Amino acid sequence: MNNAELLAAFKKQSVRIDAVMEEDLAIVESPLLAQIIRHAIFQGGKRIRPLLTLLAASLVGTPPADTARLAISFEYLHAASLLHDDVIDHATLRRGAETANTIWGMEPVILAGDYLHAHAMALASEVGGPSAMALIGRATAAMVESEFMQMHNAKEILISEEKYFQVLMGKTAALIAAACEAGIAHNNGSAAQRIALRTYGTNLGLAFQIVDDLLDYLGDPAKTGKGVGNDFQEGKMTLPLIKTLERAEAVDREVLIELLKATPLERSTQLTTAHDLMEKYQGFSLARAQAESLIREALAGLAIFGEAPAKELLTGLAHYVLSRDK
**160 burial via Cβ count (<10 Å: 0-12, 13-18, 19+):** middle
CA distance 287 to 207: 9
Please determine, for residue 269, whether its predicted confidence score (pLDDT) is greater than 80.
yes
Q: Which of 244, 218, 243 is nearest to 230 (CA)?
A: 218
Q: What is the pLDDT of residue 31?
A: 97
> Is the Cα dihedral 207, 210, 212, 218 positive or negative?
negative
Max Cα–Cα distance, the chain, nearest Å: 62
Please report which confidence band the pLDDT of residue 45 belongs to, taking 50, 70 and 90 as the band edges.
confident
pLDDT at 154 over 90: no
pTM for the structure as a whole = 0.94
Q: What is the pLDDT of residue 293?
A: 98
Distance CA 145, CA 93 (A): 25
Residue 221: pLDDT above 90?
no
**Cβ–Cβ < 8 Å for 63, 187:** yes
Q: State which fold the 3-323 domain adopts.
A: Farnesyl Diphosphate Synthase (1.10.600)
Q: What are the distances in angstroms from CA 290 to CA 202, 204, 283, 285?
A: 14, 12, 11, 9
Q: Is the dihedral of CA 267, 159, 205, 323 positive or negative?
A: positive
% of the chain surpassing 70 pLDDT: 100
- Which of 90, 104, 130, 107 lies closest to 40, judged by CA? 104
